Chains A and B, each alone.
Chain A
Amino acid sequence: MPAISFTNITKKFGKVLALDRLSFDVQNGEYLCVLGPTGSGKTTLLRLIAGLLRPDEGAIYFDGKPVNRLEAHDRNAVYVPQQYALFPHLTVLQNVAFGPLARQKPEKEALDAAWKTLEMVRLSWRAKAYPSELSGGMQQRVALARGLASGADLLLLDEPLGALDARLRLDLRHKLRELVKQSGFTAIHVTHDRDEAMSVADRILVLRGGRIQDHGVPPRVYMRPSGIFVANLIGGANLLEGIVDTVTEEISTTRMRGGLMIRTPRAPLPTTEQPVILAIRKETVEISSRDIQRDNVLKGEVREIHFLGSFREYLIRLTNGDVIASRRFLEGMESEFKVGENVTVGFDSRDIIIFAYPRQGLRKELEIS
């Protein structure tokens, strides 16, 4: 029995359709991340589960029981909003202990649990401080700790790491997953950061304009995204336009701008003369100054080099004018190739994901909002 079921949930605000016939399940103990751009309906989804909003259509079930009429405080769910509302007159420790105390836990037990949770979010040293004495990032962690210590079964997190600096966020995201798993929560975590989503989630639900674009485990969503929008949102990819040229039993070829031919996978899509988008992950594109053995070997010139710490990204302009990016790890202080250098790039057909050309055009398809 799923912990949460959405069946055909629609939610409108006036004329704006926030969620459009959403159906999905969350299993007991699952960590689900809802990923999507601003305005995609993520927070609305969370507030519906919390009972702070009512759906206009459809039903929500917890463990198979309908909860549409159940008040928020009867749902055994704790909602940690993006704007963390801490009690200003209570200390950090008292804030975190509030949930267990409200549930009639003995005081010592409640304070011990609160202290432990504060240690986990690395804030026990500020236990006696008042919220106004803390930075925004610290307040957010107190709110998170309060959720974790609440004793509810269902944890609803709206951008729980959003107010933190990037470096701290990196440290805490793995920790967050560990905490949630240890405490046995079923968790739903809303974010617009795909690295965060992949780091914490058992499964990812991708939302856009109030509709589900994809739903699955991170490797599947990354390797075989449901569409171009998802491919771009999850990790970015080279998106090249072409037209299917020939299709045989094993393979197809796609004609690119300037007549350049690319060997592409056969299944499941292409028929001859169909306009397509080829999505190629940057790390699968090899770059070399020598000849290489790949299904596709092309010539180009390095146009830009971006240093990103553990890797560099090379933007290479191919002879037909298309630009392709290659991601290279483990380079040293100097890049291996220079801007203006002529290089060979290669990639295999199995690393190409082939999509039908979007009806409304590529730019529109990729639009965030």
Chain B
Amino acid sequence: MPKLDIMGVSKFYGNITAVDSASFRIEDKEYVCIIGPSGCGKSTLIKCIAGIISPDRGEILIDGEPVKQVPIEDRKIGYVFQDIALFPHMTVRDNLAYGLAVRSAGADQIGRVTNEMLDLINMRERSKSFPIELSGGAQQKVAVARAIATGSYLFLLDEPLGALDALVRAELRYELKQLAKDLGLTIIHVTHDQEEALSIADRVIIMKRGRIVEIGTPAEVYLSPKTLFTENFVGETNLLEGKVLRIEGDLCTVGIGSRAIRTLVSGRQPDERVVVSVRPEFVAITSASGADGWRGRIKQVTFLGSLNHYLVETDEGIELVAHTTTTSELDKGFHVEDKVDLVLDGKHMLLFDYPTEGLEKEIALE
């Protein structure tokens, strides 16, 4: 069944390399999300796969067959994008039937499949509505169902939830995932929203300036990414520049300004320039106790519902973000200007080589 091979695909626009030698495989029934900052080439790549753009180099194979030899209308690829493209003068039912009618399906088949699709998205009672009478979320569901109705097995979704309200988006993403799993669809879903990608993808592809930076499961790219770019891109983190001071077994001591922090990281050498990353949830705040740790002053307190977000400036002038869960006994409800101690969890720190082009450039979002 469908398996997609992207082999060395590149696309150039004048001097600009929009996609640079992309290679990966997507397995049958896999749900893959592509994320990256705007301009990273994710939409160009998905358009290459759809056949809307032809790549300048490389090959795209579906089940081992070069896709470019198959005419677009025979490719059985469903494509859904951000701007909902339903026919405004047709009802929901007619929109769903359209793809089948174009393929000259019989009236019986059209009626049966259309009913199935209406049930699938739970909209049978809205079958006679026109798109304008539906909410944005409902319209996008119809667009997805219309793509499914044509019998495609591979779906390319380009920011399918991008035009929707935050709350609708969060609900619809799980419906989309469920639909894909129930029907055994293979999906490539492009999004600018890391949380969306982490929550529904089997694997996540991270792109930057036309290149694929890494591919992994959501837990891999969030908890143990291979690159500093990914670490910063998939979630908030604190990045500290430092130098390896010494190695004792599994314990690596890194000097950060006048301070030293100890991490459980192997494979480092003394004097290496590194960037230490520690996510806000692994920075603990306690009342100033005079312990031998980081000390600082709270600059900003933000209540985020299940989390409190603290911005703390250390005595050394470094800004650190700490998150505490609001249900935690440890969170004493700190205030701006409070003096606090900070504990950075050495078990959950990652070390990266100091980037050759500098930290700022490495993690730039545009």
Q: Show the binding face of A for B, using Cβ within 8 Å.
A: 37-38, 135-138, 165-168, 170-171, 174, 177-178, 192-195, 198-199, 218-219, 222, 232-236, 281-284, 306-311, 327, 329-330, 332-334, 368-369
> Smallest Cβ distance from A22 to chain B, in angstroms?
21
| Complex alpha-carbon distance, A136 and B302, angstroms | 28
**Contact size class for B?**
35 or more
Return the contact of A166 from the options B195, B199, B302, B366 (Cβ within 8 A). Answer: B195
| Complex alpha-carbon distance, A332 and B279, angstroms | 13
Q: Are A282 and B306 in contact (CB under 8 A)?
A: yes
Which of these binds chain A: B76-84, B92-100, B239-247, B321-329?
A: B321-329
- Contact residues in B for A236 (Cβ distance below 8 Å): 167, 170
> Smallest Cβ distance from A323 to chain B, in angstroms?
12
Known: A199-B304, A234-B305, A310-B281. Is A194-B166 also a contact (CB below 8 A)?
yes
Return the contact of A329 from the options B195, B303, B325 (Cβ within 8 A). Answer: B325
Q: Are A307 and B167 in contact (CB under 8 A)?
A: no
Which 7 A/B pairs are nearest by Cβ-Cβ distance? A283-B306, A235-B305, A165-B192, A166-B193, A193-B166, A192-B165, A309-B235
Known: A166-B193, A329-B325. Is A308-B199 also a contact (CB below 8 A)?
yes
The answer to whether the Cβ of B144 comes within 8 Å of any Cβ in the partner chain is: no
The answer to whether the Cβ of B234 comes within 8 Å of any Cβ in the partner chain is: yes
Q: Are B39 and A135 in contact (CB under 8 A)?
A: yes
Q: Are B166 and A218 in contact (CB under 8 A)?
A: no
- Contact residues in A for B219 (Cβ distance below 8 Å): 307, 333-334
| Complex alpha-carbon distance, A327 and B280, angstroms | 17
12 more A-B contacts (CB under 8 A) besides A138-B366, A309-B218, A310-B323? A38-B165, A166-B196, A168-B365, A178-B300, A192-B166, A194-B167, A235-B305, A282-B306, A308-B198, A309-B195, A327-B306, A330-B282
Q: Are B165 and A37 in contact (CB under 8 A)?
A: yes
| Complex alpha-carbon distance, A177 and B302, angstroms | 11
- Contact residues in B for A37 (Cβ distance below 8 Å): 165, 167-168
Q: Are A165 and B37 in contact (CB under 8 A)?
A: yes
Q: Are B281 and A222 in contact (CB under 8 A)?
A: no
> Smallest Cβ distance from A368 to chain B, in angstroms?
6
Q: Are A198 and B305 in contact (CB under 8 A)?
A: yes
| Complex alpha-carbon distance, A174 and B235, angstroms | 15
Q: Are B365 and A283 in contact (CB under 8 A)?
A: no
The answer to whether the Cβ of B194 comes within 8 Å of any Cβ in the partner chain is: yes
Q: Are B366 and A309 in contact (CB under 8 A)?
A: no
The answer to whether the Cβ of B269 comes within 8 Å of any Cβ in the partner chain is: no
| Complex alpha-carbon distance, A167 and B191, angstroms | 11
- Among residues 82 to 138 in chain B, which have CB atoms less than 8 Å away from a CB atom of chain A? 135-137
- Contact residues in B for A137 (Cβ distance below 8 Å): 38, 366
| Complex alpha-carbon distance, A168 and B40, angstroms | 14
- Contact residues in B for A171 (Cβ distance below 8 Å): 365
- Contact residues in A for B233 (Cβ distance below 8 Å): 167
The answer to whether the Cβ of B271 comes within 8 Å of any Cβ in the partner chain is: no
Q: Are B137 and A307 in contact (CB under 8 A)?
A: no
Q: Are B192 and A332 in contact (CB under 8 A)?
A: no
The answer to whether the Cβ of B223 comes within 8 Å of any Cβ in the partner chain is: yes
Q: Is the interface of B mostly helix, strand, loop or mixed?
A: mixed
Q: Are A166 and B194 in contact (CB under 8 A)?
A: yes
Q: Are A330 and B281 in contact (CB under 8 A)?
A: yes
The answer to whether the Cβ of B311 comes within 8 Å of any Cβ in the partner chain is: yes
Q: Show the binding face of B for A, using Cβ within 8 Å.
A: 37-39, 135-137, 165-168, 170, 174, 192-196, 198-200, 218-220, 222-224, 233-236, 279-282, 300, 302-306, 309, 311, 323, 325-327, 365-366
Which residue on chain A has the smallest CB distance to residue B235?
A309
| Complex alpha-carbon distance, A218 and B305, angstroms | 8
Q: Are B304 and A198 in contact (CB under 8 A)?
A: yes
| Complex alpha-carbon distance, A281 and B306, angstroms | 8
| Complex alpha-carbon distance, A329 and B327, angstroms | 11
- Contact residues in B for A327 (Cβ distance below 8 Å): 306
Return the contact of B165 from the options A136, A283, A368 (Cβ within 8 A). Answer: A368
| Complex alpha-carbon distance, A240 and B280, angstroms | 32
Q: Are B281 and A368 in contact (CB under 8 A)?
A: no
- Contact residues in A for B135 (Cβ distance below 8 Å): 368-369
> Smallest Cβ distance from B320 to chain A, in angstroms?
13
- Contact residues in B for A138 (Cβ distance below 8 Å): 366
- Contact residues in A for B302 (Cβ distance below 8 Å): 174, 198-199
Q: Are B300 and A218 in contact (CB under 8 A)?
A: no
| Complex alpha-carbon distance, A297 and B31, angstroms | 36
| Complex alpha-carbon distance, A38 and B138, angstroms | 14
A-B contact pairs, 16 of them (CB 8 A): A166-B193, A166-B194, A167-B194, A167-B365, A170-B236, A193-B166, A194-B166, A194-B167, A198-B302, A218-B303, A307-B222, A309-B218, A309-B235, A333-B220, A333-B224, A368-B137
Which residue on chain B has the smallest CB distance to residue A304?
B174
Q: Are A332 and B223 in contact (CB under 8 A)?
A: yes
Known: A167-B365, A330-B281, A333-B223. Is A136-B38 also a contact (CB below 8 A)?
yes
> Smallest Cβ distance from B337 to chain A, in angstroms?
15
| Complex alpha-carbon distance, A29 and B133, angstroms | 41
Q: Are B305 and A174 in contact (CB under 8 A)?
A: no
> Smallest Cβ distance from A350 to chain B, in angstroms?
12
Q: Are A310 and B37 in contact (CB under 8 A)?
A: no
- Contact residues in B for A334 (Cβ distance below 8 Å): 219
- Contact residues in B for A192 (Cβ distance below 8 Å): 165-167
Return the contact of A165 from the options B38, B279, B282 (Cβ within 8 A). Answer: B38
- Contact residues in A for B305 (Cβ distance below 8 Å): 198, 222, 234-235, 281, 283
Q: Are B325 and A135 in contact (CB under 8 A)?
A: no
> Smallest Cβ distance from B289 to chain A, in angstroms?
22
> Smallest Cβ distance from B122 to chain A, in angstroms?
11
- Contact residues in B for A333 (Cβ distance below 8 Å): 219-220, 223-224
Which residue on chain A has the smallest CB distance to residue B309?
A199
> Smallest Cβ distance from A182 to chain B, in angstroms?
12
